[in-house]
Structures are given as C-alpha cells and as structure tokens.
Amino acid sequence: MTQTRARAISDQVFRARWLKAVMQPVGLIVMVTVLIFGVLAARAQEEIIKSHGISTFGDLKYPADFKHLDYVNPDAPKGGEMSIWAFGSYDSMHPYTIKGRAERLSSIFFESLLAGTDDTIGEAYCLLCESLEYPKDRSWVIFNLRPEARFSDGSPLTAEDVEFSYQTFLTKGLNSFRVQLAKKVESVEMLDPHRIKFTFKKGIPTRDVIQDVGGIPVFSKADFVKKNFDFTESTLDHMLGSAPYVVDKLEVGQSATYKRNPDYWGEKLPINIGRNNFDRIRIEYYADYNAAFEGFKGGSYTFRNEASSKIWATGYDFPAIKDGTIVKATLPSGDKATGQAFIINMRRAKFQDPRVREAIGLMFNFEWSNETLFYGLYERINSFWDNSYLAATGLPTPAEKAILEPLADILPPGVLDSEPVTQYVSSPRRPLDRKALRKASDLLEAAGWTVGSDGMRRNARGELLTVEFLNDSQTFNRVINPYVENLKRLGVDARHTFIDNAQMQQRERPPSYDFDIITGNLATSYIPGTELRQYFGSETADTSTFNKTGLKSEAVDKLIDIVLAAKTQEELTTSVHALDRVLRALRIWVPQWNKNVHTVAYYNMYEHPETLPPYALGNLDFWWYNAEKGEKLKAAGAFQ
C-alpha cells in the first residue's frame, strides 16, 4: 500500500469518526425535539378547559363575573304567596317513579350541578358546582363542587351525594332514561369530597353529555338510606334536596304548599339573584276545569295560565276584572310549540297502516274548531318543532338530501321529492268537510276497510274499525265529540270514553298501553338529545313512558343518531329538518294547536320584569309580590 493510499484511508476513517461524533448529539437533539413537539401536540389535543359553564355551540352569553341574569329584577322583594291550580289530584311526592300520581311540583326540592337559563339555548351554568373542567373532545368532565352547598336540613352536599344520585338514577330510574344514561357514561369517580369525574364511553357523540350528567337531580345519600326510599314505589315522603323550597303543608289530593327556606345556601349566587321571590308557593287541585275557574274567581288561588280559549274569550267579564282586582294579560312567548296532539297507538294492528292514520287525521276539522270553539286564538301545528327555526319547510335542501338519500329505501313516500307533510286545511263553515271525507274514504278503501250494508267499515276478516278516544279533561269534550261524529260519518265505530286521571295514567303507561288515541305532548327541544330515543326510538317503543305512539322506524332511528352526532348548529339544524320530514310523513299523530302568547290572569299584587325572556313565563321563578297591593286586596276580602 502506498503512502498516499494509506493517508487517504486514514483520512476517510477520521472523517467517518468525526461525522459520527458530530452527528450523535445532533441526532439526540432531533430526537428530543421530536419528543418535545409530540408532547406539546398531545397536550394541545388534551387542552383542558376550565369554566363557569358550558355551551353546546359557540360561546357562553354570561361571563364568569356576571352579576345576575339579564331578565330578572335584581332588587325584587321577597315575600308573599303565589298560588296556582292543577288538574286532578296526587297521591305521591316521588316524581321519579311511574307508580302513583306525583304532586305537580314534587321535584321542587332538587338542584343539579348545572342549570340552564330562560334566555339562552344549549347553555348551562354552574349551580352546585363552582367550575367544571373538560378536554376539547368532551370525553370526560370534572365538576368542582361548591364547598358551601347544603341540603335543606343544613347537612353538606358532597361528591358522594352526586355519585349516589347518579347511581340511583342509573339502576332505579325510569327504564328509558337509565338505558340512555348507561350508553353514555363509562365511569364515575370521586376525586375528593368536592370533586367528581365522569368519564364517557368511547365512540359516542359527546356534544351534550356534560350537560346530561350535569343536569341530574342531586339528593342526600344519608337521608335516602335512612328513610329507605324505593324508586320503584310511590311515597308521600320526599327525598331531601338542596333547592330553595321545602314542604310547608300537604293536603293529599287537594293542595300542596311549599315555603322558601330562609337558610337556603345558594341565595346570593349570581344565577339566583332576583329569583325564588315568593315566601310560599301553593297548588290547589280541581277535578273539573270549570270548577277550577270558579275557584279562581272566588279567590281560592291567585294566578291562572288560561288554557281554555272559550273561557279566555267569554269568561273574563266578572266584577273583579272590571274593577282591576284581577289583571287579564296577554304576554309574549318566543318558545316553540309544545307538540300537543291526538296521539295514535301504533301498537294496535289496525293503526299500523299509514293510510288509516292519515284518514283519521283528515276527520279532525281544526279550522271549524278554531273559529267556532277557540275564537280564533290558535294556529295549527304541523311540525314537531313548530314555531321555531328547526321546523322543516319547502323541498329538501341539498344538505338535507345528503342525509336522506342514503336512507331512500326505508323512507316514507314523498320525503325526498315533496314539501313536508302539512295537515289538511278544512272548511271552517261546518264541522264535516266533505272533501276531507271523500279523501279519507278513499284511503280506507285502499287500506282494505270497506263499507258494509250497515254503513260500517270492516276489514277482510270482518273486524269492525273501532277508534276509542280516551279523555280525562271535560274541557276536551267539546273538541272530541265533533271529531267522533265526523269519524262515524266515515263509517268508523268511533267512541269517546271519559275516565278519571288515575285511570288515564294506568292505561297510557307501560306495560299496558291500553288505548287507541289520547291527547298528549310529543315534546322536542331546541338542541335535541337522547330524549329523541325516549319519544321516538324503536328500542323504547315497548318500555318508555314517553314513546306513546309505539313508533318503530329504522329510518327514524338512523336519523336520531345523525342528530345526536351533529357538531355545529348548522349540522344540527339540517339533521333536525330531515328528521322532522320523516316523522311528519309517518303520520303518527293528529297535531292540535298552539299560540305564541301567554294568556294569563292574576290578582293585582304581582309584578314581573318589563321584558320577559323568550323561553319562559317564569311566574313561579322571577315574578314577585307587591306587599302594598297585596295587603289592600286582603283587606278588601278579594281572595281567601
């Protein structure tokens, strides 16, 4: 080997060793840098939000340092009593069991970790908690409880009570509710006496899960165990809660009075300022709507939210109205329609054909009822989200079609290429609209219900088409009776059966579902959640107190999943429009009516903020008592 060759090899070895020596720390630096950026990226993904509230979409309206809600009077005085009426009676103070008839305000004792407001949609603010922490993907949440929170007996409210309440609802609550809850929550962990963590199951929509668990009522574990409460039974005792009101006096089946707790722990919280203003809230029970109105006129109770259009139009001409003792007022309401309807029980074989359901719906003449019976006060409901931006209109948009077209094979006819189903507009001149009669007749003929020599409709097996309306409210007699007569003209053996409210509860609830048609509410919300499954899901059709129609639809089930998975307001609106189209096309109801105002009457001793929030009347919440006016009315013997 030449000297030059040896030197060249030596130089190569040196350079290789030099490069190795130099590049080892560089590689280490690169590796460390990669690791650092990886950790930062992971931290960014797991960025923890700590807040005083949570919003489904967008920012919260109220900042962390808000002083009070915009729609309350922060200087509202405390005192006095507001009394209202309720229909029927009660035999239980347990609002979370299907047994018995719970007192109307029997859930008044309980608060939750989060509370909504009446001027926002999809927002919830800390009540029992002082803050909450959660990652951006909302896969878990930690609630930091207020250490000052107390039950009404003065005992502390802790994370142990929250966990116990959750576990009780999970194992003992209404079946349809606990099934949905079990699908969402993976685990619950008490981190310390004032911190509790909920971890949610992977692969589920997490848009609303924090609000769902944050809205569970909280009651005292110690009191529950001591009194051996049972969620499967009714009771006249009540669970211990932390809310502003406690029981004052119960006259079972007749009245219930609650009094404001002077030691209520949360009175000075910003979310409570200007609220819970009455010293007492009383409910008087009446079995008859007209008797309840006479009771109001006689001063047995002092505030009436009038639901009878006839009474509103013709009944308020008595002396107390004329001399100003009672105020009659129409107040604005921005809330969506309630979904009040004649509900058809599709568990019955005769109602499984949509043509039969459509024919039955055609025989209700809303226009005549509104003009003749309701004095023109109402508008017809068409949508499950009527009087809101969530109601479907016009032909399906391209975004709606993108949702609906993959389901084309299981959709009702017309959903993809027609405007959403609206109710037939009948002539208001007479109860029976003959065009509607002919159309309904054609539908029943096509469905195999033909008219025999006796004028009655029977199917191929000779079975008579019978339709029974169950009713426990005398005010509905004048609505149902003309409807029944119209169906009789169609050849249907229609009947109106009046029963008491105890029988109604027994017959309309699981497991019996012993009815053809009842009046009820198919309620929906502005940000629909898992309650959709309780009202319209196949899995709850034979178990839910709320799924009164017994609906089992693969298309509806899939659309509910899409609604629950929506991540933006635009996605939610589009998916709800699609679901609304399908529900309407299935004709599971005969929708009734709605009005976009509150029609109220009250003794002239109550006051309210000049501008009410859009989504609540709030008479038991943020109205208040004018003591000077009240004393004058008492002195004059205006009320009992």
- Section 96-107 average pLDDT: 90
pLDDT at 406 over 70: yes
In terms of C-beta density within 10 A (0-12 exposed, 13-18 middle, 19 or more buried), how is residue 47 classed? exposed
Rounded to the nearest integer, the mean pLDDT of the chain is 91
Q: How many residues does the chain have?
A: 640
CA 407 to chain centroid:
27
Degrees to nearest 5, angle at CA 323 with 321 and 328? 30
The whole-number pLDDT of residue 412 equals 97
Look at phi and psi of residue 606 and say left if phi exceeds 0, alpha if psi is from -120 to 50, else beta: beta
| CATH code of the region 245-334+598-635 | 3.40.190.10
- Section 288-304 average pLDDT: 95
The whole-number pLDDT of residue 602 equals 98
Q: What is the pLDDT of residues 563-613, one digit of tens each?
A: 999 999 999 999 999 999 999 999 999 999 999 899 999 999 999 999 999
> Can you tell me the distance from the alpha carbon of 634 to that of 12, in angstroms, rounded to the nearest whole number?
110
pLDDT at 440 over 50: yes
Instruction: Indicate the pLDDT class of residue 640, thresholds 50, 70 and 90.
Output: confident
> Can you tell me the distance from the alpha carbon of 595 to that of 17, in angstroms, rounded to the nearest whole number?
88
Look at phi and psi of residue 521 and say left if phi exceeds 0, alpha if psi is from -120 to 50, else beta: beta
pLDDT at 40 over 70: no
β-pairing verdict for 593-594 and 589-591 = unpaired
Fold of 50-75+109-220: D-Maltodextrin-Binding Protein; domain 2 (3.40.190)
CA 322 to chain centroid:
38
Instruction: Indicate the pLDDT class of residue 618, thresholds 50, 70 and 90.
Output: very high
> Can you tell me the distance from the alpha carbon of 271 to that of 181, in angstroms, rounded to the nearest whole number?
27
Are 89 and 256 spatial neighbours (Cβ–Cβ below 8 Å)? no
* Angle between helix 159-172 and 175-184 (nearest 10): 120
- DSSP tag of 580: H
Q: Rounded to whole angstroms, what are the CA distances from 307 to 108, 335, 372, 446, 473?
A: 23, 16, 16, 39, 12
Instruction: Indicate the pLDDT class of residue 282, thresholds 50, 70 and 90.
Output: very high
pLDDT at 46 over 80: no
pLDDT at 143 over 60: yes
pLDDT at 68 over 60: yes
- Section 238-248 average pLDDT: 97
| CATH code of the region 340-594 | 3.10.105.10
**Phi, then psi, of 251 in degrees rounded to 5:** -115, 95
Domain with CATH 3.40.190.10 in the chain: 50-75+109-220, 245-334+598-635
pLDDT at 18 over 80: no
Work out the number of other CB atoms within 10 angstroms of the CB of residue 218.
Answer: 26
What percent of the chain lies above the pLDDT cut of 90?
A: 82
The whole-number pLDDT of residue 560 equals 97
pLDDT at 42 over 80: no
Instruction: Indicate the pLDDT class of residue 537, thresholds 50, 70 and 90.
Output: very high
0.75 cut: is pTM over it? yes
Which residues have CB under 8 Å from 90's CB, separation 6+? 100, 101, 102, 103, 104, 106, 252, 253, 256, 285
Return the minimum-mean-pLDDT range out of 3-17, 137-151, 595-609.
3-17
The whole-number pLDDT of residue 234 equals 86
The whole-number pLDDT of residue 639 equals 82
Intra-chain end-to-end CA distance of the chain, in Å: 125
pLDDT at 9 over 70: no
| Nearest alpha-carbon partner for 515 in 552, 485, 462, 472 | 472
Domain with CATH 3.10.105.10 in the chain: 340-594
What percent of the chain lies above the pLDDT cut of 70?
A: 93
The whole-number pLDDT of residue 213 equals 95
- Section 335-348 average pLDDT: 95
* Identity at 609, one-letter amino acid code: P
pLDDT at 288 over 60: yes
- Section 528-551 average pLDDT: 93
**Phi, then psi, of 460 in degrees rounded to 5:** -65, -25
β-pairing verdict for 624-625 and 606-607 = antiparallel
The whole-number pLDDT of residue 564 equals 93
Look at phi and psi of residue 235 and say left if phi exceeds 0, alpha if psi is from -120 to 50, else beta: beta
- DSSP tag of 130: E
Look at phi and psi of residue 613 and say left if phi exceeds 0, alpha if psi is from -120 to 50, else beta: beta
